[in-house]
Structure 1
Amino acid sequence: MATSPDHLPASPAHWLQNLVLRGLIGGLLLLPYRWRVPLCGWIFARVIAPLAGYNRRIRDNLALIFPEMPAAEVRRMVRAVPDNVGRTIIELYSGAAFTARAKAAPIHGPGLAALEQARATGRPVLLVTGHFGNYDASRAALIARGFAVGGLYRPMTNRYFNAHYVAAISGIGEPLFARGRQGMAGMIRFLRGGGMLGIVQDQHMKHAPKLRFFGHPAKTALSAAELALKYDALLVPTYAIRQENGLDFDILVDAPIPHSTAEAMTQALNDHLEAHVRQHLDQWFWIHKRWKD
């Protein structure tokens, strides 16, 4: 299991924040799965999101991207987006109950055949998703079907929370690699050995180039495309779309992105994610500062 990077800062505020969140998560885990998931969504939408300033951020992001969105739809999004975030968080902590849901989910798409061929030939694969639906459900679904899928994660700034968060997602599947020097060597060995690596790539990266996302400049890491080019890996978009009951998923494994340049391939990933978000607007994490500039 990957551990919390030592360089993450520690503070009394982080300790207290983690104490509250651990208590909340621990209490929810005492409930049956079918109750805890919607309840965590409700708590996140009604309590945590307003206190954390996420409601304002959702409104600001929607005003930038959809300035003509009706006020009623904005209000619905302000509730629905954090509800999905809350459901995702408690699902990731739910271990076997969550992986059972992912295993039972229908999985389809033109990329499945490409994954099977890559596994047979030992070719590495980069599975790229976004903070959409539940971003780890597709990894869980593929692992349940016999694919060896590792994960690249971005350590959280709260080192106390990061430690048990990494432990939770390790329960879904290993190996896991932290972004940065600490995880790079192991990740490269894994890819060179024909591994499949899941990457969530839709957050602002400070030193990344500006590409387009929803028609606006958004700094986007080129790392997935660069790795695909360097190690002749498939670059495959995949998404887990939450279904109407709020508990189940539909897993899409789409066709590999053709190799060209890192910038063009990453823009294709942005365009691909945007197209799916437009079909399920309330399932993307509009709480992120995606367009900081």
Structure 2
Amino acid sequence: MTKNSDDRATPSVKQRLSVWGETAVGVVLIGVLELIRLLPYRWRIPFGGWFFARVFAPLAGYRKRIENNLRLTGIDLPSEDIARLVRAVPDNMGRAVLEMFSPRELHKVALQTPFSGPGVDAVEQARAKGQPVIFVSGHFGNYDVIRTGFAARGFPLGGLYRRMNNRVFNERYVAAISTAGSPLFERGRRGMTQMIKHLKDGGSLALLIDQHMGAGAPLSFFGQTAYTAVSAAQMALKYDALVIPCYAIRQADGMSFKVELEAPIAHTTAEDMTQALNDSLERRVRENMGQWLWMHRRWKGAKQPK
């Protein structure tokens, strides 16, 4: 029996079930977020940290991955410090997620956050002459405070994001990060074209550098080979943009931040500039070990020590 064109165009039962399942998961995730958002902000953020540290991280296997990454980098810590980190890292992650989905409250926090460091004057000078700036950070503290803080001060930064796998949840995610600041560029060829045009027109960007990039340069991070995207440095060299390492450091109360802008990275080669960015982030992580996302697969392919 031959199928006609209409039969081929009709989604299969399996495809329809897949779409329904994806929708159901997205609705559940959004529903959980909205329930948590009923809590006052001062309770919502600590609850997010508690939930990720005590419930989500153990179920997802994140505790073991944190321990493995610490061993991989040769960081020798007493067992009680490791126990503290396997709680602190997902706690910071949970707080950051709830802060991201609380953009109006985060806007107020960002306005009250002090911005300091040698990069502050460099940014003001660049703004005065219309020179683009590429702000580079990592999954540390809460990097959204930087973009939100600059936007709240009348200096919007373009941001690159990766589409979430779940279509329904992705819509909620994009809406949240758009409220924090715009323009946004989706990772991919079209988004990269838009981002480059934004930079060429004198706009500024906020980028993260600490994800494994298989096509990146084999640079060093915590003494191990970490494949790192050099695109931020390449764009800076091509379009005469400043490259400024920047960090939003969570304070002891768990709710407030300070943002530090380091001196611009000297224009040399893309690899050397990117290594300087890796070194800068490593220094910051060593000062605040619980604020970096140690469950990242940052060193893919590296053999774990026995």
TM-score of the pair, normalised by structure 1: 0.93
Q: CA deviation at 1:111?
A: 0.7
2:232 to 201, 220, 224: 224
For residues 98-152 of structure 1, give each alpha carbon's deviation from its aligned partner in whole angstroms, at most 9, with x where no partner exists: 1100110111011111111111111111110100000111111112222121111
Q: Which residue of 1 aligns with 2:293?
A: 285
- The alignment partner of 1:127 has SS state of strand
Structure 1 stretches of 5 or more lacking a match? 1-9
- The alignment partner of 1:259 has SS state of coil
Contact 1:241–1:250 at 8 Å: present in 2 too? yes
Q: CA deviation at 1:153?
A: 1.6
CA distance in 1, matches of 2:292, 2:77: 16
CA 1:153–1:255 in structure 2 vs 1: closer, same or farther (change >3 Å)?
A: same
CA distance in 2, matches of 1:112, 1:176: 23
Contact 1:119–1:194 at 8 Å: present in 2 too? no
Contact 2:220–2:226 at 8 Å: present in 1 too? yes
Contact 2:250–2:257 at 8 Å: present in 1 too? yes
CA 1:255–1:13 in structure 2 vs 1: closer, same or farther (change >3 Å)?
A: farther
Q: CA deviation at 1:54?
A: 1.1
1:113 to 104, 118, 121: 121
For residues 28-76 of structure 1, give each alpha carbon's deviation from its aligned partner in whole angstroms, at most 9, with x where no partner exists: 1111100000001100111111111211111111111245211111111
Contact 1:201–1:221 at 8 Å: present in 2 too? yes
Q: Which residue of 2 aligns with 1:251?
A: 259
For residues 188-244 of structure 1, give each alpha carbon's deviation from its aligned partner in whole angstroms, at most 9, with x where no partner exists: 121111111000110101211210000000010011111101111111111100001
After superposition, the CA RMSD in angstroms is 1.4
Would you say 1:54 and 2:36 are equivalent positions? no
CA distance in 1, matches of 2:119, 2:20: 46
Aligned positions of 1:137-176 closer than 5 A: 137-176=145-184
Contact 1:122–1:193 at 8 Å: present in 2 too? no
Q: CA deviation at 1:284?
A: 0.2
Identical pairs, percent? 54
Which amino acid in 1 is paired with 2:80? A
- The alignment partner of 1:152 has SS state of strand
1:178 to 157, 181, 186: 186
Structure 2 stretches of 5 or more lacking a match? 1-17, 302-306
- The alignment partner of 2:77 has SS state of coil
CA distance in 2, matches of 1:161, 1:53: 22
Which amino acid in 2 is paired with 1:125? V
CA 1:173–1:241 in structure 2 vs 1: closer, same or farther (change >3 Å)?
A: same
CA 1:215–1:15 in structure 2 vs 1: closer, same or farther (change >3 Å)?
A: farther
CA distance in 2, matches of 1:62, 1:22: 33
- The alignment partner of 2:206 has SS state of strand
Contact 1:45–1:83 at 8 Å: present in 2 too? yes
Question: Considering only CA atoms, is the larger Rg found in Structure 1 or Structure 2?
Answer: 2
- Larger relative contact order, structure 1 or 2 (CA cutoff 8 Å, min sep 6): 1
CA 1:48–1:19 in structure 2 vs 1: closer, same or farther (change >3 Å)?
A: farther
Please identify, of 185-194 and 166-175, the stretch whose mean Cα deviation from structure 2 is larger.
Answer: 185-194
Would you say 1:21 and 2:29 are equivalent positions? yes
CA distance in 2, matches of 1:212, 1:17: 38
For residues 4-47 of structure 1, give each alpha carbon's deviation from its aligned partner in whole angstroms, at most 9, with x where no partner exists: xxxxxx76665454333212211111111000000011001111
Which amino acid in 2 is paired with 1:39? F
